[in-house]
Amino acid sequence: MRNTANRNILRWRVRAVVLCAVVSVVVAACGGDSGDEGGGGSTQKVDMAAELKKPATITVWAWTPGTEEAVAMFEKAYPNIKVKLQNVGQGPPHYQKVRTVLKSGQGLPDVIHMEFQFLPSFKITDSLLDIKPYLPENFLSNYPEWIQKQINLDGGIYGVPWDTGPLALIYRQDLLDKAGIKTPIKTWDEFADAAVKYHKANPDSYLVNLPGGQTGQWLGLFWQNGALPFSGDPQNLKVNLTDPKIKQVTEYWDRLYESGAISHDADFVDAWYQGFARGKYAGWLSAAWGPIFLQDYTKSSKGNWRAQPLPQWEEGQNASGNWGGSTLAVLKQSKSPAAATEFARWILSERQPVEMFSFERFLFPPQNFMLNNEQWLNRKYPFYGDQQVNKVYADAANAVDLNWQWSPIHEYVATQGDAIKSKSVDQGDGATAALQPWQDAVVTYAKQQGLTVAGE
């Protein structure tokens, strides 16, 4: 009897210990998501000179090749600031990791790579620091107006521009010459004729490839046509993906898909790179950063590539769109906001690192001083057969509509756009048929998230 009684007590003790363990672990897990507020929040000017003398360690998450060199340059200029650079992925995986650490409140970096289109999405979750107090007075005037509008949200500044992606058409001069296509191609009508003619002469090859699911590229094309499908105001969110200007673009491409003159293979995968290597695609509606990806796969066609402005909807117009482009942003919970902001500002404004990024890494610069830099404008690229390509892209950058805004739910817009449009295009239904479902999905999600959609 006594034996069982003691065994019972032991059993209860064990249960009590187990219960306590479970509860404590659960509580620890639940309680870990409130990070402390680092600096920021105040709009008073900060005494940067004093702040930057203090020793600091900052963590930077960025994926652009060449950032390590910029870090080395910065550490030389500021020996008391240590920089830890990490590449946690390119594009979607990077943002997913940022979201995860923001949620957990631990392991947060100070500075993050943030493409322009994602700035409102991270601002709405109050994740970004307004770095205006840490920047010089005339900071915005260093950039063209459309870039200013992208980073200057609600009176604050949320990112330091790194590179931009103005759209242009790059093509294989040798392949187009062989097919008898006259370049430059001035209008979209001319382009359609050229595409059909080219594919007829080369049944295994296409003038360009336009995947149904590359939302960034499509939005750039809509941007070129003057569409403004989004607004950034969460209290009066505008979502208009069925605008006639957008339909004009999708209907144009649907006709080309139907005629078989344009392919719609998925991009940035092995088969797509091989396509360029083997001459399956004679051109690409590419952003300025595009050719970097082709370097390794176009060794045999090096020197045959040319760049020209995007074809226009009407003769004589000069409009372009933008695809991608990045900034460096500072997280609100950063413990060293002054050091973090100065890092971002320094490597993206000082001559030495900016010239490294522009000349050695082929990034398209956003700064006025680079865009007007004669040496950069006149630079000849062997890949382009010694064409002065930067002039083409600089003209395109100047032709980007100022008024484009991004929605604060861009991750969802992009992933839904990718999925819905790619399915529709690959099944042969075309991109136009995907617009309404895309619109509906985005509006439903916005309302689910508590945003007020304009007109609903």
Partner 1 sequence: MTQATTTAPAPATARVPGGRRKRAGDRHGVAGFLFTLPFIALFLAAFIAPLAYALYLSVFREQLVGGTTFVGLDNYTEGVKDQQFTDGVIRVALYLLIQVPLMLLLALVFALILDSGKVWLPKLFRVGIFVPYAVPTVIAALMWGFLYGRDFGPFADVADAINVPPPDFLSQNTMLFSIANVATWTYTGYNMIILYAALRAIPSELFEAAAVDGAGAVRTAIHVKLPLLRPALLLCAIFSVIGSFQLFTEPQIFYSLAPEVIGKAYTPNLYIWNLAFADQRLNYAAALSFLLGIVVFVVSYLVMNAARRQEAR
Distance separating alpha carbons of residues 224 and 311, to the nearest angstrom: 10
- Of 80-119, binders to partner 1 (CB under 8 A) are 92, 96, 99-100, 103
Q: Which of 358, 387, 422, 439 binds partner 1 (CB under 8 A)?
A: 422
Q: Scanning the structure block, which residue is given the tokens 């946690």?
A: 88
| Closest among 222, 265, 231 to 435, alpha carbons compared | 222
100 C-beta neighbours (distance < 10 Å), count: 10
| Residue nearer to partner 1 on the CB measure, 14 or 454 | 14
413, 238 contact by CB (below 8 A): no
DSSP state for residue 263 in the 8-state scheme: B
Q: Does 443 bind partner 1 (CB under 8 A)?
A: no
Give the β-pairing of 281-287 and 81-86: unpaired
Region for 45 from its dihedrals, namely left if φ exceeds 0, alpha if ψ lies in -120 to 50, beta otherwise: beta
Distance separating alpha carbons of residues 132 and 160, to the nearest angstrom: 10
Q: Does 197 bind partner 1 (CB under 8 A)?
A: no
| Residue nearer to partner 1 on the CB measure, 137 or 204 | 204
192, 256 contact by CB (below 8 A): yes
Closest distance of CB 452 from partner 1, Å: 8
Region for 226 from its dihedrals, namely left if φ exceeds 0, alpha if ψ lies in -120 to 50, beta otherwise: left
Q: Scanning the structure block, which residue is given the tokens 């293979």?
A: 265
Q: Which of 133, 212, 290, 337 binds partner 1 (CB under 8 A)?
A: 212
Q: Does 140 bind partner 1 (CB under 8 A)?
A: no
Q: Does 72 bind partner 1 (CB under 8 A)?
A: no
Q: Does 445 bind partner 1 (CB under 8 A)?
A: yes
- Of 268-287, binders to partner 1 (CB under 8 A) are 268-271, 274-275, 280
Choices 174-182, 244-252, 396-404, 419-427 (CB under 8 A): range interacting with partner 1: 419-427
Roughly how many angstroms between the first and final C-alpha of the chain, as a whole number?
74
Q: Does 408 bind partner 1 (CB under 8 A)?
A: yes
Burial class (CB in 10 A: 0-12, 13-18, 19+), 378: exposed
| Residue nearer to partner 1 on the CB measure, 196 or 419 | 419
Q: Does 29 bind partner 1 (CB under 8 A)?
A: yes
β-bridge mates for residue 78, sequence order: none
Closest distance of CB 422 from partner 1, Å: 4
Q: Which of 12, 16, 22, 200 binds partner 1 (CB under 8 A)?
A: 22
Q: Does 411 bind partner 1 (CB under 8 A)?
A: yes
| Residue nearer to partner 1 on the CB measure, 18 or 72 | 18
282, 176 contact by CB (below 8 A): yes
Q: Does 409 bind partner 1 (CB under 8 A)?
A: yes
Q: Report helix, strand or coil for 414.
A: helix
Q: Report helix, strand or coil for 171.
A: strand
Q: Does 288 bind partner 1 (CB under 8 A)?
A: no
Distance separating alpha carbons of residues 270 and 277, to the nearest angstrom: 11
| Residue nearer to partner 1 on the CB measure, 6 or 398 | 6
Closest distance of CB 426 from partner 1, Å: 4
| Residue nearer to partner 1 on the CB measure, 293 or 412 | 412
441, 420 contact by CB (below 8 A): yes
Choices 3-11, 158-166, 295-303, 306-314 (CB under 8 A): range interacting with partner 1: 3-11
β-bridge mates for residue 84, sequence order: 59
| Residue nearer to partner 1 on the CB measure, 103 or 200 | 103
Q: Which of 187, 423, 437, 440 binds partner 1 (CB under 8 A)?
A: 423
Q: Which residues bind partner 1 (CB under 8 A)?
A: 2-3, 6-7, 10, 14, 18, 21-22, 25-26, 29-30, 92, 96, 99-100, 103, 124-125, 212-213, 234, 265-266, 268-271, 274-275, 280, 408-409, 411-412, 415-416, 418-419, 422-427, 445, 448-451
